[in-house]
Copies of this chain bind each other. A is one copy, B any other.
Amino acid sequence: MSLHGTRVIDLTRVISGPFCTQQLADLGADVIKVEGPKGDPLRAQGSKIDGMSAYFASFNRNKRSVVLDLRTPDGMAVLKKLIAGADMLVENFKPGTMAKMGLSDADLEMLNPLLIVCHISGFGQTGPYAARPSFDFVAQAMSGFMWTNGEDGAPPLRSGLPISDLVAGLYAALGCTAALAVPTESRTFKSIDIAMTDSMVSMLAYMATEVFATGQALPRVGNDHPLVAPYGLFETSDGHVAIAASNDQIVDRLFSLLDCRHLFDDPRFATNDARVRHRDEIRAEVQARLEGRTTESWLERLNDAGVPAGPVLDVVAALDDPQIRHREMVMAPDGARAGKMKILGFPIKQSVDEPTLRRSAPELGEHTEEVLCRL
């Protein structure tokens, strides 16, 4: 395991932080999740299986749980001992909370001069909004991300998933892991500061670069692509098919399949720029030729022709798709809930050091005694 031998003290809760530390745990780190007597609030969210929140279980596998009451001097003393013996500390409290607990970066460096500390927050540890409460939805709204989603003329739309939490968690895991790639003899105390808004801004891609180049934002265009056409969701005789004709070569393949290469002779459709300007017309031309066959029939024909295309799967179908099953993206842990509980799999597949499920998500305080005895 790539991060074998790395000890992480995990003060995070809910999503962004636990998603970060779960990446580290999956990669082999020994992650000790320190929870208060009531536990991570995620333990109380969503549906439960034999008393364990399925939601919590999917963000906390491969970790150990230690309960400490950090409002007591004894609890704080134990935490400090744990930090002194660790390689890394990850936290996602509101900025300022750690300092109030006597765990500012300066305090932490005194405790452990080689510690890597990673802070995850809504707006970051610095700047005019640092002290504001935040949350995934606020980061979606304020990063510009949400504004890019939605139908033309309709209001901006948040993602149905807590995408800002998750992306910030991935950046945090990347920052932590890069810090571990520094040779031991060159390491110093390091403080990493990840913001949900920064993380989402970093993913604005062509939406940002068009602003840089032209001063203007691209329009919000629903399932179409602002820079490419034809591209979008098309109706079939029994549903929809998503078609991504993302370059001229693929448009050629699509038109050949649909027996309409003569459209290239029409100046409205001759180039991508022209097609983008006549998006509705090219969409109608393609749509008219897709009628009369099922989604399954079109998928076979489109894929055979080398045109990227897929069905829109609901979450139940996606999790049961043959490819997703083959890739083991849904796993069934052993242990007390064997056969009842499922969790999401590992997206980092490797020929060696493959992430494995070493332990299911812990009961609250399951490892308090085990960890404290070693101190």
Query: Hey, which bits of chain A sit against chain B, CB under 8 A?
Result: 2-3, 6, 15, 23, 27, 41, 45-49, 53-55, 57-59, 105, 122-124, 126-129, 132-151, 154-163, 166-167, 170-171, 173-175, 177-182, 188-195, 197-199, 201-218, 220-223, 225-227, 231, 233, 240, 242-244, 246-247, 250, 303, 306-319, 321-324, 326-327, 329-330, 341-353
Contacts and interface: CB of A to CB of B under 8 A. Distances in A.
B217 A315 contact: yes
B208 A319 contact: yes
A218 B55 CA distance: 13
Contacts of A347: 171, 194-195, 198-199, 201-202
Contact of A210 (B47, B221, B324, B330): B47
Q: Tell me which of A140, A157, A178, A324 has the highest count of chain B C-beta atoms within 10 A of its own C-beta.
A: A178
A303 B132 contact: yes
A318 B129 CA distance: 13
Contact of A54 (B58, B213, B312): B213
B308 A137 contact: yes
A150 B144 contact: no
18 contacts: A47-B209, A54-B210, A55-B205, A59-B205, A138-B242, A139-B310, A141-B313, A142-B310, A144-B314, A144-B319, A160-B220, A162-B205, A170-B171, A173-B174, A192-B348, A193-B349, A201-B345, A207-B315
B201 A308 contact: no
Contact of A207 (B134, B161, B214): B161
Instruction: Across the A-B interface, give the 9 residue pairs with the lowest CB-CB distance, nearest first.
Output: A148-B160, A144-B318, A47-B213, A127-B326, A135-B308, A54-B209, A2-B178, A135-B244, A141-B242
A263 to B, nearest CB: 21
Nearest to A182: B2
B159 A213 contact: no
A126 B195 CA distance: 35
A195 B324 CA distance: 10
Contact of A316 (B55, B191, B216): B216
Contacts of A47: 209-210, 213-214
Nearest to A216: B316
A217 B209 CA distance: 36
B217 A147 contact: no
A133 B242 CA distance: 13
B201 A319 contact: yes
Nearest to A233: B155
Contacts of A174: 23, 27, 170, 173-174, 177, 348
Given A198-B349, A323-B128, A155 B204 contact: no
Given A6-B181, A137-B244, A197-B329, 17 more contacts: A48-B213, A126-B327, A141-B313, A148-B161, A148-B315, A158-B223, A160-B207, A161-B204, A161-B207, A162-B205, A167-B167, A174-B348, A175-B348, A191-B351, A194-B349, A201-B319, A201-B344
Contacts of A145: 160-161
A204 to B, nearest CB: 6
Nearest to A173: B174
